[in-house]
Amino acid sequence: MNRRNLFRSFGKAISEVSFVIDHAVSSMITPSDSIFVSGFWRSGTTWLQQCLAAFAGAKTIFEPLNPLNGYFNKNNADDRRIMEPFRTGRSHAFMPFGENDLLSYPELHSILSRALIGDLRGHLIRKARKSLLKSLKKKVVVKDVRCQLCLNAIERQFSPTIFHIYRDPRAVIASIKRDNWWHGWLDNLFLRELLIYPDDGRYFFLSEWYDAILYYENKSNVEKIAAYWAITELSVQKFIVHNGARINLVSYEKLLDKPEVYFKEVISKVYGCNIQWEQVDLSLVSPTTKLKRRNVTSEERGGSWKYELTLSEIDAIEKAVQRFGLVERLF
């Protein structure tokens, strides 16, 4: 056995022990006491999850809906419509939809309910944990980048405290490009497959953007990702405005600019001004941050898109954002 396989086997063994502890503790946790973090890929979701876990004295559950976890049962026909993209591997960018509830999709409902009490087996979902002792925690912070289209259902079904972090789409796409995600699932992005075809109610919910979806379907990778970003962000806004969902919005750029001041402002707004405040290390390096980016300054982290994207790419993103009415998200 080579060294890499040895470390991998050791990691899986530690993860299994961690799950045994998590499972034993899960009966003492209720989903409504948990925290849920959402946001588009490369928007700072892992960083925010770490900050919230440190603040709340909680353990983390990382990306329960990631297809690599293998939670979806190929033989379960009850929710085949919504899970088919996960099963076939056609698109790792697929987001399940649920406007008011998840009861029509027992598989998805079960995964999220267990995630919120920390009762899921797997190595990937414990990616951000640094110690077995974390498993003893009786509070959970879940984060997933595939839940923007079912946040209202999650809030109604389980009542966790929800934080949604958003980031300048130019920075988001520069990060995706830097990490070479073009060559994989994002160079094969079909907006109709993601936003129209699934027979789960999303067609009606997203109908006001139908023409825009068709327009961007045959555009460049940059434009398609910008459109997908915009529509999922607008969906979160729609849940808040029209469905009354209690979703707390967090700006990545504001958190980056004045981390202590802004994080305390966000927390105080959610939990009240009389909370017991403990100092939280907001400079934590996210486990999803590449090694070569771990020593960059906050200015570089926020503005490197200016020299990583071409002028035509920047122009394409800004035009897409303008079309969807989200200019205020450009920092």
CA dist 291 to 172, 177, 309, Å? Answer: 18, 16, 21
Q: What is residue 112's predicted lDDT score, i.e. its pLDDT?
A: 95
What pTM was estimated for this model as a whole?
Answer: 0.91
CA dist 285 to 49, 230, 267, Å? Answer: 12, 27, 20
Q: What is residue 185's predicted lDDT score, i.e. its pLDDT?
A: 63
Q: Where are the domains of the chain?
A: 3-329
Q: What is residue 233's predicted lDDT score, i.e. its pLDDT?
A: 98
Q: By CB neighbour count within 10 A (0-12 exposed, 13-18 middle, 19+ buried), where does 283 fall?
A: exposed
Q: Chain-wide mean pLDDT for the chain?
A: 87
Residues 85-105: pLDDT tens digits? Answer: 555 555 678 898 999 988 777
Dist CA 65 CA 146 (whole Å): 7
The torsion of the CA quartet 267, 272, 274, 279, rounded to 10 degrees, works out to 0
Dist CA 83 CA 87 (whole Å): 6
| CATH fit for domain 3-329, picks 3.40.50.280, 3.40.50.300, 3.30.530.20, 3.40.1160.10 | 3.40.50.300
162 phi-psi bin (left φ>0, alpha ψ -120 to 50, beta other): beta
Q: Are 58 and 152 in contact (CB under 8 A)?
A: no
Which stretches in the chain have pLDDT values below 70? 1-8, 10-11, 72-91, 181-188, 273-279, 283-295
